[in-house]
Structure 1
Amino acid sequence: MTARLNRLVCRFDPAQIDSSRDLPAALSDALDITLPGLQLQAAGPDIRFDRSSRQLVVQIGRPTVQDPALASAYASAGPSALLDALINDPIGLANSLGGRFALLWIDLDRARLGCLNDRFATHPLCWAVEASAIAVASRADAVPIRQREIDPQAIFDYLYFHVIPAPRTIFRGVARLEPGHMLSRDSVGLRDTQWWQPRFTQTPVSDIDTLKAQFVGAIRGAVERESSGSGRVAAFLSGGTDSSTVIGMLRDVSGEQPRGYSIGFDTAGYDEMEYARIAAKAYGVDHREYYITAQDLVSHIPTVAASYDQPFGNSSALPAYCLGLMARADGYDKLLAGDGGDELFGGNARYAKQKVFELYQAIPAAIRSSLIEPVAGAGWASRIPGVSKACSYVEQARMSPLARTEQYNLLQRLGQDSVLGPQFRALTDADAPLQLRRRVWDGVRADTVLDHELGFDWRFTLADNDLPKVIGTTSLAGLDVGFPLLNEDLIAIALSLPDAMKLKGFKLRWFFKDALRGFLPDEILTKKKHGFGLPFGHWALSDPALRTLSRDSVHGLVDRGILQRGFVDALFGELLPAHPGYYGEMVWIGMMLEQWLRANAPDTRF
């Protein structure tokens, strides 16, 4: 039996386990078990119980098993084949699995519970501890605790990151398991262990043609696995390198005309439908286009905002949701997404910019300190056109790569003292996001700045942001989703690939693009990355209904004491009209926060 999990709620108290009680012999898809020390509810999981050992395993998602012997056993017995390894060597087992999955297991005789997630936490597990009991659920708002309170620090983190990164959640005392982690609870205590910590190496490539063939084969194999046994499968198609690769491989492995879904924007500078059409023509795609409007946002924003288990501020969630609705209405069961290519193989413009700053560090220190930096730091220099740009370059080049990203943070640039309500600010720690960022950066096992940047983005860009965006909106539309470019074989290649093959000179994603030259259209190989960007700021100024929704929502945060009225007045009266693309993001995250609070915690005040 294989089924997709819709809901998991478990409360386990090792101090209360009754060793004389047994589980029912038959466990259905809709599971509801109550025993002394154990309450377990699950709708639609793949679950197995071994009566002789009194051990239980719940599988969320569908992992790929890399060990041949275990894979054979798993193919015939399902999750039961994993039980012995989960009880005796869960970390070893986790490292032999790939794909999207989470596992929860219970050993009644040992009064022990364990759970773990995959490398990018694509199936979330949230948890809380009360006295001797541990509560685990697939959503933060489903964790069974006696009192559910909004955590002001989580709201601060949201305004900083535009999401709430693990391990914090919006609820005080409820944590989210970090990517590649395992949690266990027994009579001895609680342990949170990192079972997967990627190690980047700069491994010389002796045969690049063979490596390219392995790379292309890994993509092909991943697309084949993601599209088999999943019902009707289509793909997102933005016209970028990643989505074009996935849909082209979908054509090859299926031998049929693939269906692709693309979003367009009738706003100058945002629409890239022409590239989606190029890919569609190249691969014979049955291409469906949807031009999203401000009216779509007004209709869907409250639904999408409320659907997440905590505030979520990625603005491209709305386009993804609209495409998901289209695909579901057309009878599709799953969409393939191209997320991961940039973060695995060096496709972000920041990576090339860092290389520019490294040129400055190559200048002899004596010249930098005695000549360049005194001039750059002089007040008169910053007032001279042309020279001011050079001064900014020197200032940024002197920063650490991690600190440099801080200057683009909206909350930092606007100034917390002028943005946040004083009572709310007094309840929060402004340094907490910086401490988390530093912990993640320092935890990346890498020898180069580029690999540190990649590992950092695997966490904050992929696991905490882009993947939950796609997973949440496709699920809301009634679809499953697959990420072929995040399969374990491609991760292994990315971990060993030298910097010079990820970023050749200033050419982003050189190896990825060179390996697919001849497969991808030349226009797509040379285009600049754009994706499903949303012209929200422009529409919030021009569309009356969206303007009303956004103003009303953000002013709601003033009434809650989260934002200052003077800042919000300036945001709509001055900042947004002057720079709608930039300050529209601040309006968006405020609006989505307020919409979530209205639906899930309407009495929140500070």
Structure 2
Amino acid sequence: MCGIVGFNSKNSLVLNSMLQSIKHRGPDDSGVYEEDSFSLGHVRLSILDLSSNAHQPMEFDNLVMVYNGEVYNFKEIKEELEECGYSFVSNSDSEVVLKAYHKWGIKAIDQFRGMFAVAIFDKVKKTVTLIRDRVGVKPLYYFFDGKDFVFASELKPIMKYKNDLTISKDALYEFFQFGYISSNLSIFENCYKLPAGHYATFNIQDLTLDLQQYWSIVPFFQKPKFKKSEDELVDELEKLLIESFRYRMVADVPVGVFLSGGIDSSLVAAILQKHFGNIHTFTIGFKEAKYNEATYAKEVAKHLGTIHTENFLSSNQAKEILNRFVDIYDEPFGDSSGIPTTLVSSIAKDAGVKVVLSADGGDEIFCGYERYWYSYNIGKKIFMMPKILRKSLLYFMDIIGVDNASKIVKIKNFEHKYNQLAEMLKDDSWKNIYEKLIHNSKNYEIKELLGIVKDIKEDGFDIGAKEHPMQGMMLWDYRRYMTDDILTKVDRATMSVSIEGREPLLDHKIAEFMAQVPFELKYKDGTSKYLLRKVLERYIPEKLIDRPKMGFGIPMFEWFGGDLKELFEKNFTDEMFDKHHLFNKQYIQKEYQKLNINKALNINKLWFILVFQLWYKKYMDN
């Protein structure tokens, strides 16, 4: 894996500073290309062709390229290019990407199967084309204010180039709503993530930027559903999975697998172990039993016969990683599972592994999250109520008020549930119901904290919901939560220790296939990931599969209420909040007092505020 940067001017000092800020993404090599109108930089983590022949920036004819990622089917594309008269000096996929673009232009992307963030400078046309992979596995940010154009794999280099960036209120709202920033926003104004499945062309002379989409999962949902038997679909899915996993084993360095013991990671480990053997698996555990998955992972590893490594995360280790959290995630990022993901990445690195496969994407593609059927059941009950009854309930709730109601009804976290119910009774769409149930903070809470309310625009939900409301939820997550939370987490965690993370379940061929599978074979008779389970049963006994889903969560309250509580005390002061004047301090102090009297229900709200405070201190408090 690598890191890339570029901007529309020449400044060697700034260019080198930008590259130094992402050296962790590519400690093996670095390179620059500079001319008066444009500069490119690259840091390299050598995975394929470890020689200097794969050095970047890479030039061919009128093109100069910097590239981060892997095109796994590069050998097939290379053969086709050789038949067209192209010759090659390296065994890297980078050279294939460059010459494929030279041959076919932007249409070359249609042949790429993998994860990539690419920048290609045309010295003749004076244009720069940025390309991001279909799902958004690899990050790519750009800044454009009508004059300066800057791009990079992370925000750090852009902050090195621009020292007068301002915070985006829209992005801040999304962060406190979800714990991550989506909508292709970044925490800064005029700075964006290139959307997954898109390319952008910047004209250096005209100072114009054109954004185009080249792939979307939506058309595949609009195709007719497969008219095949269950066994036929299981056979086809297994074949696709084996093919996808085989591609992701292409490397000239050792490869391992993150294993949680859940369905997705067990399937990845099982297929790779059967078809390749000697697979290294890595997991982490917790002394707190309700968070600990290590036992399950160990049982799966023993059954498969993998070379297994486990480690237990303590509060002291978590605190050490937390001290580096805003260095790893250089915009506000609230997913606390980034802490164990960073640790398990370190374990893999220490074991000599340079490429690691994780099983992200399974929940969004195959219907795995409990919140899907939970939200569906709640939504059904609300929509079954006549509108006149819902309006009447709202009327009486407004008259009674939450304070008076809480004196009558003694329910844990009553105020939150009361206000949430009031919001949902007003809703007339599945999208609104789902968003309100997955919000970390509800609209009324964010309004109290920030003084603003924002509506999230997302048409993917309506497209998926035409088949089933839960399919709409899956598509919502596929286009937002998966890309901007899960994939961001894995990319930054693995890159922080200079190893490459690969996502075999996110091969676009698998997503396209599953879009045409009838929903009743994704969630059947109360069983989630039904089709995927049928594949896994061919490799692992059912007793090792059928268990509660946990994920890489951490015991937030146990740690923050004890060893890490001092971080709140240091960062939740009037002096710290007055540095930016973005928050209602009274709201924060009210929520903090709940923690002090041992109410853990609001821990994520406080965690998000803490993350922002730490981020602001690191990057903005000059």
Shorter-chain TM-score bucket reads: 0.7 to 0.9
Establish whether residue 597 from structure 1 lines up as the match of residue 605 from structure 2: no
* The one of 175, 198, 205 aligned to 2:192: 175
Between 1:504-513 and 1:471-480, the stretch displaced more is: 504-513
* The one of 146, 150, 157 aligned to 1:135: 150
Q: Which residue number corresponds to residue 419 of structure 1?
A: 449
Establish whether residue 329 from structure 1 lines up as the match of residue 350 from structure 2: yes
Q: Which residue number corresponds to residue 234 of structure 1?
A: 256
Q: Which residue number corresponds to residue 59 of structure 1?
A: 67
Q: Which residue number corresponds to residue 16 of structure 1?
A: none
8 Å CA contact 2:8, 2:150 repeated in 1? yes
**Residues 192-341 of structure 1 mapped to structure 2, 5 A cutoff:** 192-199=211-218, 200-201=221-222, 203-256=225-278, 258-341=279-362
Q: Which residue number corresponds to residue 452 of structure 1?
A: 472
> What secondary structure is seen at the aligned counterpart in 2 of 1:584?
helix
Per the TM alignment, residue 518 of structure 1 is displaced from its structure 2 partner at its CA by 3.4
Per the TM alignment, residue 49 of structure 1 is displaced from its structure 2 partner at its CA by 2.0
**Residues 130-169 of structure 1 mapped to structure 2, 5 A cutoff:** 130-131=145-146, 134-143=149-158, 145-153=161-169, 154-169=171-186
Whole-angstrom CA distance in 2 between matches of 1:69 and 1:5: 21
> What secondary structure is seen at the aligned counterpart in 1 of 2:441?
helix
8 Å CA contact 1:502, 1:510 repeated in 2? yes
8 Å CA contact 2:145, 2:190 repeated in 1? no
**Residues 453-472 of structure 1 mapped to structure 2, 5 A cutoff:** 453-472=473-492
* The one of 420, 426, 429 aligned to 1:400: 429
The 1:510–1:128 alpha-carbon spacing in structure 2 relative to 1, beyond 3 Å, is same
Q: Which structure 1 segments of 5+ residues have no match? A: 14-27
Q: Which residue number corresponds to residue 25 of structure 1?
A: none
8 Å CA contact 2:127, 2:201 repeated in 1? yes
**Residues 40-79 of structure 1 mapped to structure 2, 5 A cutoff:** 40-44=40-44, 46-51=56-61, 54-65=62-73, 72-73=80-81, 77=88, 78-79=93-94
Between 1:565-574 and 1:342-351, the stretch displaced more is: 565-574
Return the letter of the residue paired with 1:185. Answer: F
Q: Which residue number corresponds to residue 430 of structure 1?
A: 453
RMSD: 3.4
Per the TM alignment, residue 40 of structure 1 is displaced from its structure 2 partner at its CA by 1.7
Per the TM alignment, residue 463 of structure 1 is displaced from its structure 2 partner at its CA by 0.6
Between 1:401-410 and 1:76-85, the stretch displaced more is: 76-85
**Residues 381-392 of structure 1 mapped to structure 2, 5 A cutoff:** none
Write out per-residue CA displacement over residues 190-240 of structure 1, whole angstroms, 9 at most, x where no aligned residue: 211121121214513323323212212222222222223141112111111
Establish whether residue 111 from structure 1 lines up as the match of residue 119 from structure 2: no
Per the TM alignment, residue 443 of structure 1 is displaced from its structure 2 partner at its CA by 7.4
Q: Which residue number corresponds to residue 24 of structure 1?
A: none
The 1:362–1:467 alpha-carbon spacing in structure 2 relative to 1, beyond 3 Å, is closer
Q: Which residue number corresponds to residue 2 of structure 2?
A: 5
Return the letter of the residue paired with 2:123. Answer: L
Whole-angstrom CA distance in 2 between matches of 1:252 and 1:493: 23
Whole-angstrom CA distance in 1 between matches of 2:305 and 2:568: 40
Per the TM alignment, residue 118 of structure 1 is displaced from its structure 2 partner at its CA by 0.4
The 1:453–1:370 alpha-carbon spacing in structure 2 relative to 1, beyond 3 Å, is closer
The 1:596–1:362 alpha-carbon spacing in structure 2 relative to 1, beyond 3 Å, is closer
Per the TM alignment, residue 279 of structure 1 is displaced from its structure 2 partner at its CA by 1.0
8 Å CA contact 1:376, 1:394 repeated in 2? no
Write out per-residue CA displacement over residues 239-266 of structure 1, whole angstroms, 9 at most, x where no aligned residue: 111111111122112222x322222122
8 Å CA contact 1:122, 1:463 repeated in 2? yes
Per the TM alignment, residue 110 of structure 1 is displaced from its structure 2 partner at its CA by 1.6
Return the letter of the residue paired with 2:347. Answer: M
Between 1:464-473 and 1:305-314, the stretch displaced more is: 305-314
Aligned length: 566
> What secondary structure is seen at the aligned counterpart in 1 of 2:248?
helix
Percent of pairs identical after alignment?
19
Write out per-residue CA displacement over residues 77-132 of structure 1, whole angstroms, 9 at most, x where no aligned residue: 45455457636865532232221112211222222211110022222222223545
Whole-angstrom CA distance in 2 between matches of 1:394 and 1:9: 45
Per the TM alignment, residue 485 of structure 1 is displaced from its structure 2 partner at its CA by 0.8
Write out per-residue CA displacement over residues 494-518 of structure 1, whole angstroms, 9 at most, x where no aligned residue: 1111111111133211111123223
8 Å CA contact 2:285, 2:313 repeated in 1? yes
> What secondary structure is seen at the aligned counterpart in 2 of 1:127?
strand
TM-score normalised by the chain length of structure 2: 0.82
The 1:63–1:445 alpha-carbon spacing in structure 2 relative to 1, beyond 3 Å, is farther
8 Å CA contact 1:233, 1:336 repeated in 2? yes
Q: Which structure 2 segments of 5+ residues have no match? A: 11-27, 45-54
Return the letter of the residue paired with 1:246. Answer: V
Q: Which residue number corresponds to residue 18 of structure 1?
A: none
